[in-house]
Structure formats: structure tokens, C-alpha cells
Amino acid sequence: MILLVSCSLCKNKAIVSLNYAGVSLCGSCFTKNFEKRVSKANKEFKLLWRKDRIAVAISGGKDSAAMLFVLNKLTEKIGEIELIPVLIDEGIKGYRNNALEEAKKLCKKLGFSLKIYSFKKYFGMSLDEMIKKRNSLNSDFCEKGACSICGVFRKWLLNKAAQELEANKLAVGHNLDDVAQTVLMNLFRNEPSRFHRFGVLSGSEEKELFVRRIKPLFFCPERECAIYSILQGLPFYLGECPYSSEAYRGEVKNFLNYLEKKSPGVKFNVVHSFLSLKKELEYCESKKQKTGCSSIPVCSVCGQYSSSKVCKACEYLGELSN
Ligand code: SF4
Ligand code: ZN
Ligand code: ZN
């Protein structure tokens, strides 16, 4: 859509309207606004520190392209921070292989070398093979959605990759839309306990367990990540994962988009409400710790961080090897 209005900040021709803020911006003001938002999140949540070695999860899509670009810019200003782009190859034919090519182009353009970690190598099966296996099982496991399976192994492998690369942090490209969806999904599924493990900055300081995760795009709407990537001329893959139709997330996404259209700012409201709730939860948690009621949970099979005795990745691998 071509806008016939001027930029609210400099009076150049606007290219984008941000309805939730009631402003229209030109390319240059939009870019500054986007980068300022990431920089503000960094300052407020103290995401980036000198001497950090950060594994940056790249998918070949627009969000992680925007994240790598903006992090590269920001860390150059701060100095003494190393970024290592990492791609998890789940083994999804016709999708991840195409996205991988764009990720390679992106890294080449920005002067990084890309580290690739595959499901096949670490779990003995690609996601395509896992889904085939799932479909042949007679247990409850055949009810598991592809994204639940993918998500568990992906999270485990990203953590493993960060550990192997001796990174002290892992940056993931979750944007504001993803965050708002996750918050609602946890509420709809009655899983509020997941809130305390989720945030702009999460994870343990002891890297043997769960490498600290940072989400620099926490306050950047998905649409703006795409516009930012396009404005910077970044390569990214637009295709959709063939399993995405299995995802409950898609329904929540449509619901939120519908509400956002009717009342601009809804997504920001969900995210800010979540952060306020989280503060309360953390207060309760710290009180619990003071009374000695908490311990650091570890998977008894693989030794990785886990909220239960056996982590989900080990539980799923057990099911899949039946
Ligand atoms: Fe994995 Fe689902 Fe994303 Fe596809 S859509 S990459 S299956 S989480
Ligand atoms: Zn402007
Ligand atoms: Zn495990």
C-alpha cells in the first residue's frame, strides 16, 4: 500500500503507518525508531555486555535477519562482543533447505560464518523422519503436533550449540507478535508456570545448564521486522514450513491480528501486562528461594536444564525409538 502522507517526524514521504502509535514514518525515521526500540530493550534489561560471546539463532527468515543486522550494529557500538550465527537444520524438505540458502547469503553479506546443527546428526532423525515415525505409532505420542516435537528438539539443540560454541548467551529472534502469542497460548492452556521461564532475558547464569537467552526483538512487531529487513536489503526466505498448518499458534496469531486491527496496540498491551505479571511472579519466586524451597532442575538422562526429572527431548526420543 502506498501512503500519501508525510513522515510524522521529518515531513519526508512516509512509507509506513504505525497505527498503535498514531504515526507515519519515512524509511529513515522508521529505521531509527526500530533500532532505538532494540537499544532501549538492551538498556532496560541489560542484554548485551562487553566480552559477551553470543550465539545468534538464525532461521533464514526475516526476524532473525533483522536481529543479526541490528545486533551487529549495536554490538559494534558497544565493542568487544562476538556474534556467532547458528542455524538449526531440522530436516524439513522443501523448506529448511531453501531457508538455509538465504541464511548463508545473509551471513556472507554481513561477514559471518554460519554454524549449522542438524537434528539428523544429534538425534539420529530429521524432523520429517520423526513425523513419519509419529504417524506410525499407536501411543498417545501420535497426537503430538509437529511444532511441539520440533520446538522441544530445537530448543535442546540450540542450547547444546551455544554450549559447544562456548557462548555465554543465545539470542533468539522472537518478535512482539511471537511473544504475545506465547503469552496467550500459556493462558489458554492453563500453563501460567511457564511464565517465569520466559522473558526478554531468561535462563541460568551457569552455562552448563541453560545458556541465557536474550530476545532483542521482544518489542518489535513482526510486520516491522519484515519492513526493517527489506529496507536494509537483507536476504530472507518467505516460504512457510509445511507443518505450520498443524500449529495451534497459527489460530492464536489470526485471533491477535484480528484484535489488533480493531484496537491497535493490543499486542503491546498483552506483552506489557505479561511483564508486569512476571515481576510479581519473580517477587514470589525470590521469597520462595529465601525460604529454601527451590533447587536447580536437571534432566537425569542428558544432564541439561529441565523442569522435570527427564527433559522433554529425552522423553520424546524415548517415544520415537519405540
Ligand atoms: Fe518447526 Fe513448526 Fe516452525 Fe515448522 S512451523 S519449523 S515444524 S516449529
Ligand atoms: Zn522521517
Ligand atoms: Zn534430557
Lowest mean pLDDT among 115-124, 163-172, 204-213: 204-213
What is the C-alpha to C-alpha distance for residues 318 and 322, in angstroms, rounded to an integer? 7
Looking at residue 273, what is its pLDDT? 95
Cell numbers at 302, concatenated: 542428558
State the chain's mean pLDDT as an integer.
92
Looking at residue 285, what is its pLDDT? 66
Confirm or reject: Cβ of 244 under 6 Å from ligand 1. yes
The answer for residues whose C-beta is within 8 angstroms of residue 320's C-beta and 6 or more apart is 125, 130, 133, 134, 141
pLDDT tens digits, residue range 25-46?
999 999 999 999 999 999 999 9
pLDDT tens digits, residue range 233-271?
999 999 999 998 767 888 999 999 999 999 999 999 999
Looking at residue 245, what is its pLDDT? 78
Backbone angles phi, psi at 86, to 5 degrees: -130, 135
What is the C-alpha to C-alpha distance for residues 131 and 150, in angstroms, rounded to an integer? 9
Instruction: Look at residue 221 and give its three-state secondary structure.
Output: coil
pTM of the predicted model as reported, rounded to 2 decimal places? 0.91
What average pLDDT does the segment 301-319 reach? 90
Confirm or reject: Cβ of 247 under 6 Å from ligand 1. yes
Neighbouring C-beta atoms of residue 209, cutoff 10 Å: 18
Q: Is the pLDDT of residue 1 over 60?
A: no
pLDDT tens digits, residue range 94-150?
999 999 999 999 999 999 999 999 999 999 999 999 999 999 998 888 989 999 999
The answer for residues whose C-beta is within 8 angstroms of residue 305's C-beta and 6 or more apart is 159, 203, 204, 209, 210, 296, 297, 298, 299, 311
Of the listed ligands, the closest to the CA of 300 is 3
Looking at residue 282, what is its pLDDT? 72
Q: Which residue matches cell numbers 529513515? A: 28
Nearest CA to ligand 1 atom 7: 147
Looking at residue 307, what is its pLDDT? 78
Confirm or reject: Cβ of 29 under 6 Å from ligand 1. no
Lowest mean pLDDT among 63-72, 158-167, 273-282, 283-292: 283-292
Looking at residue 308, what is its pLDDT? 85
Q: Give the helix/strand (H/E) hosting 84.
A: strand 82-89
Confirm or reject: Cβ of 225 under 6 Å from ligand 1. no
